[in-house]
Amino acid sequence: MNKKQTITITATILILASAVALSTVLEPIQVDALKGQGVPNQQGTSSKVCGDRLCSEPAPQKSASDADNNNDDTKNINDDDVKDDNQNKNAKNLDKDNSANKIKHRWLNVHSNVHTSFNEVIVIPTIEQDAFIHPFAVVIGNCHIGKMVFVAPTAVCRGDEGTPIHVGDGANMQDGVVIHALETVEEGHNIDDRRFSADGDRLKGDDPRFAEGFAAYVGNNVSLAHGSMIHGPAWIGDNTFVGMESLVFNAKIGINVAVGVSATITGGVEISDGKFVPPGAVITTQEQADALPERIGSHYEGTNDAVLNVNQQLAEGYDEMDLEKLIMEREKQMEKGMWETSIPHP
């Protein structure tokens, strides 16, 4: 065996090992177990996690040689159920449960937050059954992802500081979008003006609605285009479009608003319903916000409808797609490519 053959074989082994490792990470890309956390499954029944499978799925058949272990397995499952009950009573202990730990480590891109002085409750994201989270997107902690939401590669919903974060039904988070928020509670004390109600009211810490409020709220059928950032405290109304590379921080944007490319909206301002924020605009005062033109008649008038159509179809298509099969096909292509490049050329 010559030196060139040795190098080729070594490279092939290393690439195959990398492909196997990648497929192990990407295997659970549809996060079905996480979608089952208190969310109806496709049959309309509630699902929860039983070890490595959903409780709604049939248990694997055991061989006769495993019969001696049945009692121990049953005891372990019962113990897990008891732990699940205790988690509902005390969310702080969620990360101690074996099932939760399996989820945390198996679904690397979707996992709980960590315990801090500003977030003493550990929460796993809630993801509706027909949402799609790309394996290279990240969803952490107290984030709710609604129905038919498309979360594209490199998008991030990080509910580990200001919480909770809500992404409404039919919305989309395109590539590079970040949703995050300033802390809302510090050592048990609510922080004024750091949460909005679902209706868009900014909440004081002593408001009885504060506990049910949102650090960042994205309404139904909202489009967050590539690279945009929504940093709470923030509230975005239904059917609004936020253009590429735009920033919304400490602001409220009404329904049916169109925000142009690379706009900045901050300073505690409120954008009224149906307004248009021109590309590159910097809105930091309420006077500027009140002077904005109407969306109707602007060149962004129908943008959100078109974007929603595309991204909702993507969410549906990717969710139905057998991505594990796709990964295996990619591995075969890699192997074929490695074989072809290892053949000596004349």
Q: Which residues are catalytic?
A: 161, 183
What is residue 215's DSSP assignment?
S
Other CB atoms within 10 Å distance of the CB of residue 38: 11
**Encoding tokens for residue 162?**
């200001």
DSSP codes of every residue in 238-263: TT-EE-TT-EEEEEEE-TT-EE-TT-
Tell me the chain's radius of gyration from C-alpha atoms. Answer: 24
**Residue 282 burial class via C-beta count within 10 angstroms: exposed 0-12, middle 13-18, buried 19 and up:** middle
Structure-derived torsion over alpha carbons of residues 125, 128, 131, 133, reported in degrees to the nearest 10: 20
**Residue 297 burial class via C-beta count within 10 angstroms: exposed 0-12, middle 13-18, buried 19 and up:** exposed
Other CB atoms within 10 Å distance of the CB of residue 254: 19
Whether residue 284 contacts residue 269, with contact meaning beta carbons closer than 8 Å, is answered with yes
